[in-house]
């Protein structure tokens, strides 16, 4: 059989491509990025992959009016237009009894891998972060939002100044905070809690039902653990850095400032409305509290006698029940 081999060389790399009569066969091209073993059908596809995934180049602008997003390839931009602006999702999930629809076969396969098969094999590149992700794109978004603190997507709700790392996060915020939509039910038996997203529900299950707190405070000599990195960061700002200038009290003529909206709402219920509807879980104790957290602090300090908060003043060895008491 006659075989014609054409070799193409670009810079220092070349890929032999072999054509047989009536059949085209291409030798796989390996990604040249260190420690990455994906292969491609052509040198051009591999180079596009490096620019888009590893180098993060996005120089193709969306053609939709007033959309400022950019993409790594024309194909991805066109998928974005169909999915986001035109709302087209015509690829069905192949997993039994799953009704999810997607804009492309690739997105559907990522969904199957991540949601149904539970595969997370992309490690965070940030030092000392052990989180795993389903795709490199998700990992990069995590690095920007969590580790680098980049939040450049503004909320579209009138008079809301909140900023977010991704458009998806902003849209979740609008549904949950401004529109009040909570349509995801807790999967734990006999729990009636509702949530805005599946992620929020899963965090609730891990924190409240399973009691998992595996994120350590990054502040020196603070041993507190949290359910999420976001909660830990809020704790550092509010407790250790003393920042309470983000959220103003909504009660008329009250000038109090708080680190989080949740703290402000607890303040309104406790101080202004006088609501205390959380009962102490200690036997024969009739104390009532404004929040579960306050009740648990009461149990540790009063009933269990725990004093594990050290004074931050030099050469003072006194211990306290809480950060508030110590301060």
pLDDT in tens, 236-268: 888 888 777 678 888 988 888 887 777 888 888
The two structure tokens encoding residue 126: 């940030």
What does the pLDDT read at residue 94?
Answer: 93
From the CB of residue 259, how many other CB atoms can be counted at a distance below 10 Å? Answer: 20
Does some domain include residue 32? Answer: yes
Domain count, the chain: 1
The stretch 46-71 carries a mean pLDDT of 87
Does some domain include residue 314? Answer: no
Say which range, 161-165, 181-185, 271-275, 317-321, has the weakest mean pLDDT.
Answer: 317-321
Q: Please, what's the b/e burial string for 219-257 (b: 16 or more CB within 10 A of its CB; e: otherwise)?
A: eeebebebbbbebbbbbbbbbbeeeeeebebeeeeeeee
Q: How confident is the model at residue 62 (pLDDT cuts 50, 70, 90)?
A: very high
Does some domain include residue 232? Answer: no
Does some domain include residue 24? Answer: yes
Does some domain include residue 172? Answer: no
Does some domain include residue 65? Answer: no
Does some domain include residue 3? Answer: yes
The two structure tokens encoding residue 42: 């052509």
Q: How confident is the model at residue 11 (pLDDT cuts 50, 70, 90)?
A: very low
The two structure tokens encoding residue 260: 């989080």
Say which range, 14-23, 64-73, 84-93, 318-327, has the weakest mean pLDDT.
Answer: 14-23
Does some domain include residue 30? Answer: yes
Higher pLDDT, 22 or 221: 221
Q: How confident is the model at residue 68 (pLDDT cuts 50, 70, 90)?
A: confident
What does the pLDDT read at residue 5?
Answer: 41
Q: Containing domain of residue 10, as a range?
A: 1-57
Report the distance separating Cα 174 and Cα 171, nearest Å: 5
Question: Among 181-185, 260-264, 319-323, which range has the highest average pLDDT?
Answer: 181-185
Predicted TM-score (pTM) of this structure? 0.41
């Amino acid at each position: 059989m006659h075989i014609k081999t054409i070799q193409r060389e670009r810079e220092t790399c070349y890929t032999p491509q072999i054509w047989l009569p009536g059949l085209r066969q291409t030798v796989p091209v390996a990604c040249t990025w260190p420690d990455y073993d994906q292969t491609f059908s052509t040198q051009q596809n591999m180079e596009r992959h490096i620019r888009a995934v590893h180098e993060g180049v996005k120089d193709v602008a969306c053609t939709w009016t007033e959309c400022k997003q950019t993409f790594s390839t024309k194909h991805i931009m066109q998928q974005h237009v169909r999915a986001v602006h035109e709302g087209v999702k015509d690829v069905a999930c192949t997993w039994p009894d799953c009704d999810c629809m997607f804009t492309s076969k690739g997105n559907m396969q990522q969904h199957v891998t991540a949601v149904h098969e539970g595969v997370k094999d992309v490690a965070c590149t940030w030092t000392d972060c052990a989180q795993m992700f389903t795709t490199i794109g998700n990992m990069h978004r995590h690095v920007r939002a969590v580790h680098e603190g980049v939040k450049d997507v503004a909320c579209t709700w009138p008079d809301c100044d909140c900023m977010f790392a991704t458009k998806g996060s902003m849209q979740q915020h609008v549904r949950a905070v401004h529109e009040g939509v909570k349509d995801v039910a807790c999967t734990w038996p006999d729990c009636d809690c509702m949530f805005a997203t599946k992620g929020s529900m899963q965090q609730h299950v891990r924190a409240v039902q399973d009691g998992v707190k595996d994120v350590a405070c990054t502040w020196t000599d603070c041993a507190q653990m949290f359910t999420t990195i976001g909660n830990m960061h809020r704790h550092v700002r509010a407790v250790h850095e003393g920042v309470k200038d983000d959220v103003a009290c909504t009660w008329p003529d009250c000038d109090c400032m708080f680190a989080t909206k949740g703290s402000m709402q607890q303040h309104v219920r406790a101080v202004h409305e006088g609501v205390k509807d959380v009962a102490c879980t200690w036997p024969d104790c009739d104390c009532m509290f404004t929040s579960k957290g306050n009740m648990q602090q009461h149990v540790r300090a009063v009933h269990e006698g725990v004093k594990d908060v050290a004074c931050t003043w030099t050469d003072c060895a006194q211990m306290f029940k809480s950060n508030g008491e110590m301060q």
